[in-house]
Homo-oligomer: A and B are copies of this chain.
């Protein structure tokens, strides 16, 4: 059994932008020569999240719109009383969706559906450079 910790860097526009990272994760897995195991995908920071979705233009708009209904960017949040940085909605959304997912692989390939991509959603109110940990465990 091996455990290999890698990082990928992703530039986002923030504002709930959805960015597909599937190919980057798949390329890293290919380099490891592991056949059976899983990949933990974990975003460092408290205003972004990882999930899966069908990465197509419609859902890239639907997902931000749903989060806007759930935690509107125009509402007042107590967080903004603490820091005054105006991104209370971003923190709430990120806590809600969570920082990580685990994707199993077998015979060297991630067991994703054809229309199921791994994405980061960056909820912050500005462009960010994100550090995403990709940790492989397996043999």
For residue A79, give the distance in angstroms from its CB to the closest CB of chain B: 4
Asked if A123 is at the interface (CB within 8 A of a chain B CB), the reply is no
Binary interface profile of A, 58-92, with partner B (CB < 8 Å = 1, else 0)? 11111101100011000001111111000010011
Contact between chains at B102 and A102 (CB < 8 Å): yes
Is the interface on chain A under 10, 10 to 19, 20 to 34, or 35 or more residues? Answer: 35 or more
Q: Residues 119-139 of chain A: 1 if any B CB is under 8 Å from the residue's CB, otherwise 0? A: 000000000000001010111
* Contact (A62, B38) CB under 8 Å given A44-B113, A100-B101, A100-B103: no
Select which of B78, B103, B112, B133 is within 8 A of A58 by beta carbon: B78
Main secondary structure of the interface of A (DSSP, over half): mixed
**Contact flag A137-B37 (CB < 8 Å), given A99-B101, A102-B102, A113-B45:** yes
A–B Cβ pairs within 8 angstroms, 9 of them: A44-B113, A46-B54, A46-B116, A59-B82, A59-B91, A63-B95, A66-B70, A66-B96, A137-B138
10 interchain residue pairs of minimum CB distance: A58-B78, A58-B79, A58-B82, A1-B1, A104-B135, A45-B113, A53-B95, A61-B78, A46-B54, A46-B116
